[in-house]
Structure 1
């Protein structure tokens, strides 16, 4: 039995950087499931993954244009193909229940975690990191990434990150968002969202952190800021989950 994990490629030595796919990679590693990564360039996702596996598009734009997002898995043992990181986690939990991603019937609570992390800490951070993501992509994906992000933000890629005083204020907003996420850990009293128990929520948080660390590198000041915020919480979260960061 092998699970095929479809992930976005990059020019980084380890290739893996995409946060949503990291959520699935964490789950597979945590459950000890054998898997193999198929690396995909952005514009190939629709044909090489979705159409190949017979999956419907992830979404449609107002003009009807389909969009295709990773992660996607194909389980060779069951023949099931699934997209969306939370839906994949639910499938893995049902099919391979131990160890649990949603201990103590917490799946409903955990289903809200990723949206909360995105709203609190990621939407404001994204503007700072997009131009640097472009730099770590393979040539095959650079034009697509630049074109689609510039269309989304309505400005040149290099102009998306706020600068000068606005940049300082917006970076403070990123910190405030992560303060909100930190409050969950403070309330739990442990190193994880559920106290001393690892769950999908921790993998969700850690995946966004790995995204930033992978794109910026550990010596980048932005990453150093994040790693030391909240009394070093975010560097510690990644360290506590390091055994589940294997890349096949």
Structure 2
């Protein structure tokens, strides 16, 4: 007999939005960083890196959904030790995101495939292959500077849009690189998302002198869920309108 799932806790903002939009009322807990959908009323159980294990256990969830990159293994082990069922996703490409979203929703016993997931796949299928390519540096933090390296979901999205990550062949997934090293990489574009570090027109472009800087919505670049429907158009628009820092 299939076990019923009526109470879910999400430790990942992307998965929180996916579950909440698809099955309203199923979520009973989410992190402080789970900002979508707007107005979500659930118990907040701390951050992605420091969830309150006791508070999660007290919610008596049938399932906890997590991610191997966003959540710490020690916290997930503690949840399992508390007797909770934990589903851990791995998302390092767009195709993998679609597969994992389907797996999560099935685990939540969602009846049928949500329309937004079909729409997201269709939106990305319409992105043309090939075309002009630019080479970009993609910082995700400063003080110290950290950039996208190899094997990342955001890097895969950019590659599909004709933007080659300058550090895609780096041995680390999120390498720390001194600013002088970034400037000398030979890129012709810098892509600055507004999360996890909040880069803005006044905080980020100036570090790269006259290099064009595309300011992108981090939700469209790094979240996998309903936002994937709008992501191709939103990212293309941002990439077409770069700003320039002070040279």
What is the TM-score when the length of structure 2 is the normalising length? 0.34
Identify the structure with the greater strand proportion.
Answer: 2
Highest Rg: 1 or 2?
A: 2
| More relative contact order, 1 or 2 (CA 8 Å, 6+ apart) | 1
Identify the structure with the greater helix proportion.
Answer: 1
What is the TM-score when the length of structure 1 is the normalising length? 0.34
